[in-house]
Structure 1
Amino acid sequence: MVKSYIKKARQPEVIRTIQKDLQYTTELNQDVLEVTQFLAKNNRNIIKLNEFIKVFVNVAYHGFAAINRLQTLGEEYTGVIQIDTKTDNLPKKFIQVIAIIFEFGGEGFLIKVLNEYEKKVNDSEDLLPEARRTIITIISILKSSIPYIKAIHRGIFYLNNSGQLQISKGLTGIHYVLTRFWLNNHHNTGGYKFLGIVTLLQVVFSLLLKLKEKHEEKKLRKIERETRESTQSRLQLQLPNEDTKKCILCLEGRINLTSTSCGHLYCWNCICDWLKYKSECPICREHLTQSSVIFLQNYY
């Protein structure tokens, strides 16, 4: 192909191509689904196969065009063809097929692999708790980052017209060029640049909100952990062993058992003498007055 005749398809042509192909594949998917429902006896199986049918229809539609060196209906409608970025010639068939598989099955396959690996990590008894938590965190980050990566790629496409709205084509080095290059009228694409800026800003704000949520969750978990540890410490102080049967003020067995409003136990004389100098519980430092202590009878 003569390079001087090559005119890269702009954002409007690329988007119209993808939208037109999506329209045809959606109709085709609906037809296949209706036929499958008619032939199948169990509708529950159809629900499970729905995603598979969608992937199959898209791969078959685009794969047929790639293998036979044909334009898709969307490409024909818009007047574009796929070109290898390095050679400026038609891409090799197997490269096109790989791009198609990546585009329509790559994300689902990746998520499935990550989910299976996450399940294995959770079920593994050989991993240390710290290692398990680290791996699960990494998997969670990978899964949650997929929409952000797609949005960033889309924003860059709107900004500089990379010719590769689909990540799969960017990975395989395929882009669109115009077949009717003389109709390239250089309309203003400033609106797409603005859309690209808005898209990237939206990603930034979403990431900031996500980080804020994670920070707040971390703080909440820390507070919960500290509260739990504090509660356990108090419970340990109140366990009925030999040490807890002693008054912590005189370090001897409690005489004339007395309880404070916060639930701690002392000798009557010990706590009364203490409160003459300090109006607080010796253990938990809660405000305490002599009128709020209770002399216990028949307590064992």
Structure 2
Amino acid sequence: MPETQKDLVLPFADASAIVRSHQKDSYYESYLARMLSECAAALRGTRFAIANNNSFEMLSKLVYLALTTVMAKRTLGEEYVDLVYVSSDGKRLAPTSQKAWFAMSYAIIPFMISKLLSKIKATKEQMEYDYDDDDDDDTNNDSQENTSWSQRAVTKLVPWYQWLRKLNTLMEINLAIFYLFGSYYNLSKRITGLRYAFGHAIPENQPSNNKMITGYKVLGSLMLVKTALSYASSITCYLNEKLVNSAANSQDVGKLAGTVEDSGLIHDVASALHGPNTTIDLSNEKKLPYLKGRSRSCMLCLLNMVNPTSLPCGHCCCWNCIIDWCKDHNECPLCRAKIDNQFIPLR
């Protein structure tokens, strides 16, 4: 049978106590990082301090945990709410080696992942720049031969850049699970199996803050829904792209496209821009036929629209007409909604 809270030697801490402890520890970690940054700015200059801000944050976390958790002492946040580290079953105190692994994974691993992602992003941008550049092939070959093994390894990770960025999603999911069940606030603690327990006995007649616990569960549920919706949107876009590519390569769609071209009807702006004449003149009823009657007229020149464009408010007019209008006005000529030139779609 599973262990109940009463069967444990040390009762597990609830989510509210863990959050209060983490907030206090985060304050002192940020304070230590700010002190390190100020010392570096005084010795090496402000530019050096700003460039190495992430390093100071990592070092502050490592020093803070090394002086407290690794040395078998409690942090200021843990003392504030009387928390101690215990094993995953709550029957014994966590050993020093386990807490040392947690300190390293909490401070160093996220810093290394952040550095790796920044290098992969810089390499990805450089590869895109080299692809667009018109340099000679000999120059490119020489640069590839002169790269170090670490640069070549980073280059191989470029296709995985978008997936590596999803590591932040794991932290969000872990935090949502914590709000639901009240265990393992950090992903590092979940990996190392460290849990918080109260360092004092809890009377059975002590009232519990059910409202706060319910609020945390609602927050965790909303975070999981948000993550699921974001992935559902990504999956939907991926499937739509695959379906469009598959349809474009099929013979049936090719025949259908030929039928549409034979009829002369153009239903989308992208197709209307193909061909020798890139002007979209709605006086031709075969272009964008779903626009009927007065909806094909420009609200400024009152003629059939030429190169129609949509304003942020949804009203349409000729592209040249609205550009001339915006030289002296910053509002829609029909509904007077404020507009900005930079939000007008390009022709």
Question: Which bracket does the TM-score occupy, shorter chain normalised?
Answer: 0.5 to 0.7
Report the CA distance between 1:176 and its aligned residue: 0.2
Identity value in percent: 20
Q: For 2:47 and 2:120, how far apart are their aligned partners in 1? A: 27
Structure of greater relative contact order (alpha carbons < 8 Å, 6+ residues apart): 1
Letter of the 2:109 counterpart: G
Secondary structure at 1:66's aligned position in 2? coil
Are 1:193 and 2:193 an aligned pair? Answer: no
Q: Which residue does the alignment assign to 1:64?
A: 67
The correspondence of residues 1-300 of structure 1 with structure 2, limited to 5 A, is 4-40=8-44, 42-86=45-89, 88-113=91-116, 119=123, 136-137=158-159, 139-161=160-182, 163-182=183-202, 185-188=207-210, 189-215=213-239
CA spacing shift, 1:25–1:221, aligned 2, 3 Å? farther
Q: For 1:194 and 1:19, how far apart are their aligned partners in 2? A: 20
Letter of the 2:175 counterpart: R
CA spacing shift, 1:88–1:5, aligned 2, 3 Å? closer
Letter of the 1:173 counterpart: G
Which moved further from structure 2: 69-78 or 88-97?
A: 88-97
CA spacing shift, 1:201–1:100, aligned 2, 3 Å? same
Q: CA deviation digits over 1:214-248, x for unaligned, max 9?
A: 4456678889999xxx9xxxxxxxxxxxxxxxxxx
Contact 1:111 1:143 in 2 (8 A): no
Letter of the 2:185 counterpart: L
CA spacing shift, 1:108–1:28, aligned 2, 3 Å? closer
Secondary structure at 2:174's aligned position in 1? helix
Secondary structure at 2:208's aligned position in 1? coil
Q: CA deviation digits over 1:65-113, x for unaligned, max 9?
A: 1232111000001111111225732222222122112112212313444
Q: Which has the higher helix share?
A: 1
- TM-score by length of structure 1 reads 0.62
Q: Which runs of 5+ in 2 are unaligned?
A: 1-5, 128-142, 146-154, 255-274, 277-347
Report the CA distance between 1:191 and its aligned residue: 1.5
CA spacing shift, 1:152–1:124, aligned 2, 3 Å? farther
Secondary structure at 1:88's aligned position in 2? coil
Which moved further from structure 2: 8-17 or 179-188?
A: 179-188
Report the CA distance between 1:198 and its aligned residue: 0.7
Q: For 1:215 and 1:4, how far apart are their aligned partners in 2? A: 49
Secondary structure at 2:209's aligned position in 1? coil
Q: For 2:180 and 2:192, how far apart are their aligned partners in 1? A: 21
Q: For 2:76 and 2:113, how far apart are their aligned partners in 1? A: 29
Secondary structure at 1:67's aligned position in 2? coil
Q: CA deviation digits over 1:103-162, x for unaligned, max 9?
A: 122123134446667859x7989xxxxxxx99754x23431321221111111111122x
Report the CA distance between 1:38 and its aligned residue: 1.3
Secondary structure at 2:50's aligned position in 1? helix
Q: For 1:207 and 1:134, how far apart are their aligned partners in 2? A: 25
CA spacing shift, 1:160–1:67, aligned 2, 3 Å? closer
Letter of the 1:92 counterpart: P
Secondary structure at 1:8's aligned position in 2? coil
Contact 1:11 1:157 in 2 (8 A): yes
Q: For 1:45 and 1:220, how far apart are their aligned partners in 2? A: 49
Report the CA distance between 1:194 and its aligned residue: 1.2
Q: For 2:53 and 2:156, how far apart are their aligned partners in 1? A: 35
Q: For 1:113 and 1:22, how far apart are their aligned partners in 2? A: 24
Secondary structure at 2:165's aligned position in 1? helix
Report the CA distance between 1:173 and its aligned residue: 0.8
Secondary structure at 2:166's aligned position in 1? helix
Q: For 1:204 and 1:160, how far apart are their aligned partners in 2? A: 19
CA spacing shift, 1:124–1:65, aligned 2, 3 Å? same
CA spacing shift, 1:56–1:186, aligned 2, 3 Å? same
CA spacing shift, 1:56–1:222, aligned 2, 3 Å? farther
Letter of the 1:89 counterpart: R
Secondary structure at 1:81's aligned position in 2? strand
CA spacing shift, 1:64–1:212, aligned 2, 3 Å? same
Letter of the 1:158 counterpart: Y
- TM-score by length of structure 2 reads 0.54
Structural RMSD (CA):
3.6
Q: For 2:50 and 2:248, how far apart are their aligned partners in 1? A: 42
Number of aligned residue pairs: 217
Q: For 1:224 and 1:51, how far apart are their aligned partners in 2? A: 47
